Structure 1
Amino acid sequence: MDRSSEFRRWKAQCLSKADLSRKGSVDEDVVELVQLLNGREQFFTTSSCAGRIILLDRDINGSEVQKQNYCWLLVTHKPCVKDDVIVALKKANGDAILKFEPLVLHVQCRQLQDAQILAVRSTHGLEVPLTHKGKLMVTEEYINFLIKIANQKMEENKKRIERFYNCLQHALEKETISMTSYPKEKIKEKNNSSYTHKKKRNPEKACGKYITEENNKELDNDDHDDPGISVTIFPEDY
């Protein structure tokens, strides 16, 4: 079985699986983006989050900041209010942290040149400790201030998703037009030439700045037979 056939088989298997996320479905703000990618033969999404505000309580016995040591006190994909955070904080027994996390979208790509279309990232986040060993360390006024910042980031994140969708759609349409404008022999020759050139430049170094630490770990753990490349996408300075 060639790599293209293997990729199609792997894509069909992945998209047919049940959604195992906490929510159990794709977030409303990224449905169109996910559909756009999954509608293209060279991509498929493996996980996504449109962006969220969360309040986590870390186990005081935990020695590292890891998700498995956290209790989820509050999570929302919409702007939140101070009262909800205050109520949730009353359940904290350890070190509670208020976080805003922007869009995260993991995409499996058929080949390197497909991944390069999507290989962008963002540092548009927020993470602030609020309690220590269950004791509130900040004032309600400060909590209200943080929530305003988180909500502003949520709104900006939504705008970035819309802009990213439009730019990606334009890029894919342009690619389709380009592919249909040249004879297949020329396309194959051009792709092979492009790949050979990038290979000489050391592809790991050339693409390294686009792959996050989290994805490096994922790539290290993947089987060597995997027919795709996993990247997290979102424009850093969009």
Structure 2
Amino acid sequence: MQSLDSCPPVFLDRKKKILEQLSVPNTEYTDASPKGSVDEGIRDLIDEINQSTGFVTTSSCAGRVSVFLEGRRVAETDGEDGQVAGVGGKGAGGTWLFVSHDPVPDDGDEDKDWSSTLGLEDSDAVQHVTGTVKERRLIHFKFEAMILHVLTASPEHAQLLLKCAFQAGFRESGALNIIPSGKDAATPMVAIRTMGLAFESLIGHQVDGHHLRLVSPEYLRTLISIANERFAENTKRIGRFQDAFREAVSTPAPRRNPEGEEWEDAAARRERKRAEGLRRKAELQKKREADGSVEDDIPVGVEGQEQTGLLIGL
């Protein structure tokens, strides 16, 4: 793991509060995402991020397929309080008719009509629709990949997280608040996301309260099939991101040479060899000194007797 700055108090305080929320049962937990809870498909990823120093998730979505009715384009009242939907149809009464955070099971029925499942009515079956263009609101089919918001303890933490995201294919990821504000240290908010898997299609409109299908049942089946394929690719990218993050925050295992010993660079090897040489030299010196002290302790008389005995024998 690369060296990272310590966590500032403002980050630690906010992470503590978020983790306290996450510790409650899933049925009681809410976060800043539209769903208000953590999707089961990324629960392990969320836990792994939150257990790492310097990171905490603030909102998340594992990916979803949805059918969305956009908001009113014309205010219902003449006053300034009347709200209208912006570009894309959000706000002013916009709502989801169908949402799934998992692949949509097709039950193997290639002829299934998805209209009712997606909250739509067959326009041919609806009689006496008298709505005008003024009242018409469009209905969108959408697929969106995983999006994850992570509060980080420093720009260095944010950079590490973004590197993992880019490697995994979440190429539209980015960070905010990378510059310190006042006396507080910078605690960037990182968004992990990709637009490469997302797609959207108009499939209907609302007239006089009826959600009318404008496309064929075959077209709806095609959209469902494409969404399920995107779910599969989204799952692969989530796995790659989790693997990259785990590797980035873990202590790397020591490198090994062909003999299985811990690898060392040339400078470290020279220093080790030098230390070993000095140690062996000191050991030899001690041995010589010990041998010399033994010779000095031999009695003189004994040496003379040995010499005398040799002369007599000759």
Question: Which TM-score bucket, shorter chain as reference?
Answer: 0.5 to 0.7
Unaligned runs of 5+ in 1: 178-238
Structure showing greater Rg: 2
**One-letter code of the match for 1:68?**
G
- For residues 60 and 122 of structure 2, what CA distance do their matches in structure 1 show? 28
- 2:156: which partner in 1? 113
Whether contact under 8 Å (1:53, 1:76) holds in the other structure is yes
Q: What is the Cα deviation at residue 136 of structure 1?
A: 2.5
**One-letter code of the match for 2:232?**
E
Tell me which moved more, 81-90 or 109-118. Answer: 81-90
Q: Which of 116, 119, 129 is matched with 2:202 structurally?
A: 129
Q: What is the Cα deviation at residue 158 of structure 1?
A: 1.0
Whether contact under 8 Å (2:67, 2:141) holds in the other structure is yes
Q: What is the Cα deviation at residue 60 of structure 1?
A: 4.1
- 2:306: which partner in 1? none
Higher relative contact order (CA 8 A, sep 6+): 1
- TM-score, normalised relative to structure 1: 0.65
Whether contact under 8 Å (2:114, 2:221) holds in the other structure is no
Q: Which of 132, 142, 158 is matched with 1:99 structurally?
A: 142
- 2:120: which partner in 1? 89
- For residues 253 and 58 of structure 2, what CA distance do their matches in structure 1 show? 24
Q: What is the Cα deviation at residue 71 of structure 1?
A: 1.3
Matched, 1:154 2:242: no
Whether contact under 8 Å (2:113, 2:221) holds in the other structure is no
**Deviation string, structure 1 residues 123-166 (Cα, Å, up to 9, x no partner):** 22111111134443211111111111011001111111112111
- For residues 3 and 150 of structure 1, what CA distance do their matches in structure 2 show? 40
CA gap of 1:24–1:91, structure 2 versus 1, over 3 A, is farther
- TM-score, normalised relative to structure 2: 0.51
- 2:69: which partner in 1? 57
Identity %, equivalent residues: 32
- For residues 153 and 16 of structure 2, what CA distance do their matches in structure 1 show? 13
Matched, 1:45 2:57: yes
**One-letter code of the match for 2:150?**
V
Q: Which of 81, 95, 101 is matched with 1:77 structurally?
A: 101
**One-letter code of the match for 1:19?**
T
Corresponding residue pairs, total: 176
- 1:215: which partner in 2? none
**One-letter code of the match for 2:121?**
K
SS in 2 for 1:68: coil
Matched, 1:19 2:30: yes
Matched, 1:30 2:42: yes
Whether contact under 8 Å (1:54, 1:75) holds in the other structure is yes
**Deviation string, structure 1 residues 28-49 (Cα, Å, up to 9, x no partner):** 1111111111111200000001
CA-based RMSD: 2.7
Tell me which moved more, 33-42 or 81-90. Answer: 81-90
Q: What is the Cα deviation at residue 104 of structure 1?
A: 0.6
Q: Which of 131, 138, 158 is matched with 2:215 structurally?
A: 138
- For residues 85 and 100 of structure 1, what CA distance do their matches in structure 2 show? 17
CA gap of 1:174–1:91, structure 2 versus 1, over 3 A, is farther
SS in 2 for 1:147: helix
CA gap of 1:176–1:100, structure 2 versus 1, over 3 A, is farther
- For residues 15 and 67 of structure 1, what CA distance do their matches in structure 2 show? 31
